[in-house]
Structure 1
Amino acid sequence: MKQQANKDIREAIERAAVTHWQVADAMGKSQYTLSIWLRKPLKGEKRELVLSAIKKAKREYGEDAE
């Protein structure tokens, strides 16, 4: 079976307890765009943008957000 692309990023989203749309919103992108990006291994600037957005989404939408 083929390994899912960006498994580490998908797991980071799950650990942050946020949704894909929340991460996309934190990036200023659509959920559709994030979904397409995650289909192939992310590298460089896009990868850093997504990882940063996960942290931002956790602050904005996470369980501890007010």
Structure 2
Amino acid sequence: MSKKNLDIRKAIKESGLPHWLIAEHIGITDSTFSKWLRKELSDETKERIFGIIQRLESEAQKNN
């Protein structure tokens, strides 16, 4: 069985952001976010998550 949402997983790993922080910005718990990643997400949901990752990365760069 192959993992789902590899593009999201890769983006999270490369960003170095913790799952809980992304989940917090979505408005869900980290355990719910982990459950979301088990099934392939819609393109709309993926775009939302990618946007959050980009925004958090930008904020982190501004603070460093």
Alignment TM-score, normalising by the size of structure 2: 0.79
The RMSD of aligned alpha carbons is 1.6
Instruction: Work out the percentage of aligned pairs sharing the same amino acid.
Output: 33
Alignment TM-score, normalising by the size of structure 1: 0.77
Structure 2 match to 1:21: 20
Alpha carbons 1:16, 1:54 under 8 Å: kept = yes
Structure 1 runs of 4+ aligned residues shifted over 6 Å read: none
Q: Unaligned stretches of 5+ in structure 2?
A: none
2:50 maps to 1:51: yes
Deviations 1:22-63 (A, max 9, x none): 111222221122111100011132222211121122234x4x
Q: Unaligned stretches of 5+ in structure 1?
A: none
Find the aligned partners of 1:57 and 1:41 in 2 and give their Cα distance: 23
More helix by share: 2
